[in-house]
Amino acid sequence: MGYTKSVFAAVIILMAVFAVIWVLSPMEFSIEALQFQIGIDYLKPGVTEISIPPLGSITAVTHKTPLGITLTLTSIDIDALGRIIADATDQNQLILLVQEKLAETLRWYVLRILGLAFLGGVLGALVLRFDRWEAYCRAGVGGLLVVALLMVMTRATYRVEGFHSPTFNGALEAAPWMVSLAEKAVAQVQELNRQIPVVAGNLYSMLEQIDKLEPVGDAEGNVKVLHVSDIHNHPAALDLIKQMVEKYHVSFVVDTGDLSDYGTVLEGLLTQELPQLSVPYVFIPGNHDSPAIVEALEKYENVIVLNEEVVEIDGIRIFGVADPAAEGHYLISASEEKYPNHTEDLKQVLSTLQVDIIAVHRPKLAHNLAGFAPVILHGHDHSSKVTVSKGSAVIDAGTTGGAGLRRLQVSDDVPLTLALLHLRYDEAEAAWQPAAVDMFSFYERNRKLSVERVLLSN
């Protein structure tokens, strides 16, 4: 075979090798409760990409070969993950187990790629229609050796340190904020770890104070409604809510959103204590929530998720409006420009309804809907307050989770806040009217508890 023909044959064989690897390289594997797919992408040379649908991806320049490595999280067994987290007694042992499983998977994957390289070489020889079986073997071995060399070079030049300066895409573009927070506040985090037992003890003491408190007067209210908002994954918030419900004989709870931070399936695990509440829990998704969070909540019998719907509890009619951003998995807030007619559409709907409470997430929408119900509840801005507008009591529960992780960015003790609404039935108006609202603030670090009553009845 002449030189030109040999070069042509080598090119065809290599094209077949890389085509086979391109098509057949993706491989599924699992690590405990997590299912992944690993693959090779020639369009991303020298890059490792970790994809977490639907949040986005993280990419980093990690090696010096034309092979791109992709790792995609395809599914999560929530029940299994919950058991693993609950049973995990040694974090280091769990990490070691994951590392061993990943190393074993990578060994098998390399063997798979080498096998595909041999197969690709043989297929290339079939295209060239070689007439001797030795030629097919040489083509297969040649493809295997070329790919083996690339794999060795990839391993030799691979640097995990590339992830120290990654590129984020999709909703994960918010991740640099988390990285920056970790770098700037590492001392605070270490101090927080040392204070966890103290903080837990303080919260327990505050919950005991609730038991010791004399009930705040009835304020002429026949029904008590607990308004919470912006929990942001705070693990103690649900315990606090449960204590408030039991202490003050609350009829139901209204949560005006941002139960989570990133709307991930994993964050949905933190809601597992909600079924322990003895009263209905009305949830209005916020801009930090997502379809995954809503799906997790809808599994609980006592949770009612509202989106432009009305529910009646103890004769009180609540109209809830989910934040438009909760329909997706992106942290970027939905703008007024994107939904220009949203408020007007809601006003048209409300003009045909008679409701006692309107629950939304954002303060701007809450104030725009003033006058359409005696009580309007909202959150979002982490600032608890009560105002009266167009005859409506507009109540902001603040942040029942103390702003979540954002508390690490400030030195002040961000309180856990919530509102206890007293409603009375007005026979003359044939409607429920707000009599008063008690604004509770719990300071975890300083072990302070404050209650402010705002009278609303005429």
DSSP string, 58-91: EEEE--SSS-EEEEEEEEE-HHHHHHHHHH---H
> In this structure, are strands 357-359 and 375-378 parallel, antiparallel, or unpaired?
parallel
* CA–CA separation, 175 and 232 (whole Å): 16
Q: Rounded to the nearest 5°, which phi and psi values hold at 27? A: -135, 130
> In this structure, are strands 56-61 and 223-228 parallel, antiparallel, or unpaired?
unpaired
Q: Rounded to the nearest 5°, which phi and psi values hold at 92? A: -65, -40
* CA–CA separation, 449 and 206 (whole Å): 7
Q: Which alpha helices (H) appear in 226-322, and where do they start and end?
A: 237-247, 265-268, 291-297
Both tokens assigned to 128 = 């060239």
CA distances from 66 to 42, 45, 368 (A): 6, 4, 56
The residue ranges of every structural domain in the chain are: 3-181, 196-330+340-455
pLDDT at 188: 43
* CA–CA separation, 57 and 222 (whole Å): 52
- Contact between residue 57 and residue 170 where contact means Cβ atoms under 8 Å apart: yes
pLDDT at 185: 39
Both tokens assigned to 73 = 């999280």
Q: Helix 91-128 to helix 133-157 angle, to the nearest 10 degrees? A: 150
Rounded to 5°, the CA angle 237-176-412 comes to 45
Q: Splitting the chain (458 residues) into consecutive groups of 10 residues, what average pLDDT does each group show?
A: 75 92 91 87 91 78 93 78 60 71 89 94 88 87 93 92 80 50 42 47 57 56 91 85 90 96 78 92 94 92 96 96 82 53 91 96 95 96 94 96 61 82 89 92 77 82
Helix (H) or strand (E) holding 281: strand 281-283
> In this structure, are strands 431-443 and 448-455 parallel, antiparallel, or unpaired?
antiparallel
**Domain 196-330+340-455 classification at class level:** alpha beta
